[in-house]
Amino acid sequence: MTLKTPTSDEVRAVRRAARISQSKAASLVHLSSAVRWSEYERGTRRMDIARWELFLLKTQTMREQAT
């Protein structure tokens, strides 16, 4: 599977599906504040693939633990 840089809509959709805040999402991927996360969701900054992969892995784990 080859990951691509996510769009702002993809970033927002995965966060919402995980039912977490922007602050929690930022914390999961080791960002110091939600400001950067907000930039990812607005499309003013692109998320690097490594951070995206980490977020996907962590949110998948959270969904599995909730079921």
- What one-character-per-residue DSSP string does 1-67 give? ----PPPHHHHHHHHHHHT--HHHHHHHTT-SSHHHHHHHHHTSSPPPHHHHHHHHHHHHHHHHHH-
Whether pLDDT at 52 is above 90: yes
Structure confidence by residue, pLDDT tens digits, 4-26: 999 999 999 999 999 999 999 99
Task: Reply yes or no on domain 8-66 having CATH 1.10.10.
Answer: no
More confident residue, 66 or 40: 40
More confident residue, 63 or 30: 30
More confident residue, 64 or 51: 51
Q: Where are the domains of the chain?
A: 8-66
Query: Are the beta carbons of 17 and 67 closer than 8 angstroms?
Result: no
More confident residue, 61 or 26: 26
**In the block, residue with structure tokens 């929690």:** 24
